[in-house]
Structure 1
Amino acid sequence: GFAVTAMPSGVKELGYPVYSEKDTVQYRLDYQFSPVQKSDLNLAKYPDYSGKPFTIEPGAQSDRYAMVKVEVTGPVSGHITGCEIEYNQAGQSFHQPVPCEFALDKS
């Protein structure tokens, strides 16, 4: 599992899609979900693997990556900060906070 811990005012969390680098050709750091936009940045055209468990073998790097899908609803008061990852290893559940920060940019 993946979640952001602090969402600024003016931003609404819509979900956490999970993509495969095998589908998107590379990790995407910016994108649009607008159905009007037909560019390669429109991740809505790729499969979303969220909610589908998968295994990462020891010492391996996963081709999957999570993103946070948001909607700007008003003036944004700051950055999106803090990430949490939940996973199971050898039958035991783990919760790991990870420092992260995302700035929203109008373009």
Structure 2
Amino acid sequence: MLLVSCSASPSGGKALDAEGSQSSGTVGNTHAKVGQTWYFALPVPHNISGKSIEITGASVVDPPKGLKVLGYAAYNVNDTEGLPLLALGGESDTPDFAHLKDYAKSEVKVSPKKQSDIFFQAKIRITSPPRKNIEHCQFQYRQGGQEFTQILDCEMELKVS
């Protein structure tokens, strides 16, 4: 499955919960360094509608200058022993993502009125001191044979010390 940012969707969706805990705060680190790779968890999909959805993509909207998105993946929270909101690559407490199943290789189904056990993640490298924060994430999904795009708040701040 290709996880890219696009706006080819015919309409904005409303099936995902836009008020979840990840949509109401900022995760970050104030001691980041240029060249580091960080893993940023996008909001966990919570289907608040009465119909199942199949997520076909997830991405960061307009990454700021200084942050380069290296790729996207999706993991089961049980495989990562919880939700790693922001993790530094190479650290002992960071899950070994390279050896975990990437669920983004196929559609991620979310039942009605349920939160997914699968979370999407962006792998990000700091190329220069970021000019601003990541503020929004975009999900593409199918529901009832129709394609939707929905943008959610998801703020991440990396300050280079």
- Quickly name the TM-score band, shorter chain normalised: 0.7 to 0.9
Does residue 1:46 correspond to 2:114, yes or no? Answer: no
**Residues of 1 paired with 2:126 and 2:158: CA distance?**
9
Equivalenced residue count is 104
Does residue 1:96 correspond to 2:154, yes or no? Answer: no
Report SS of the residue matched to 1:24.
coil
Q: Per the alignment, do residues 89 and 79 of structure 1 end up closer, same or farther by CA in structure 2, a change over 3 Å counting?
A: same
1:19 aligned partner = 75
TM-score by length of 2: 0.58
Q: Give how far 1:92 is off.
A: 1.0
Q: Per the alignment, do residues 10 and 51 of structure 1 end up closer, same or farther by CA in structure 2, a change over 3 Å counting?
A: same
TM-score by length of 1: 0.84
Q: Give how far 1:2 is off.
A: 0.8
The AA in structure 2 aligned to 1:24 is T
Equivalent residue for 1:79, pick from 133, 139, 144: 133
**Residues of 2 paired with 1:33 and 1:48: CA distance?**
17
Q: Give how far 1:68 is off.
A: 1.2
Q: State whether residues 30 and 41 of structure 1, in contact with CA within 8 Å, keep that contact through their aligned partners in structure 2.
A: no
Q: Give how far 1:8 is off.
A: 1.3
Unaligned regions of 5+ residues in structure 2, if any? 1-56
**Residues of 2 paired with 1:73 and 1:42: CA distance?**
23
Report SS of the residue matched to 1:31.
strand
Alpha-carbon RMSD: 1.8
Q: State whether residues 32 and 43 of structure 1, in contact with CA within 8 Å, keep that contact through their aligned partners in structure 2.
A: no
1:30 aligned partner = 86
Q: State whether residues 130 and 159 of structure 2, in contact with CA within 8 Å, keep that contact through their aligned partners in structure 1.
A: no
Q: Per the alignment, do residues 74 and 106 of structure 1 end up closer, same or farther by CA in structure 2, a change over 3 Å counting?
A: closer
Unaligned regions of 5+ residues in structure 1, if any? none
Q: State whether residues 108 and 118 of structure 2, in contact with CA within 8 Å, keep that contact through their aligned partners in structure 1.
A: no
**Residues of 2 paired with 1:67 and 1:5: CA distance?**
13
Does residue 1:69 correspond to 2:123, yes or no? Answer: yes
Q: State whether residues 5 and 84 of structure 1, in contact with CA within 8 Å, keep that contact through their aligned partners in structure 2.
A: yes
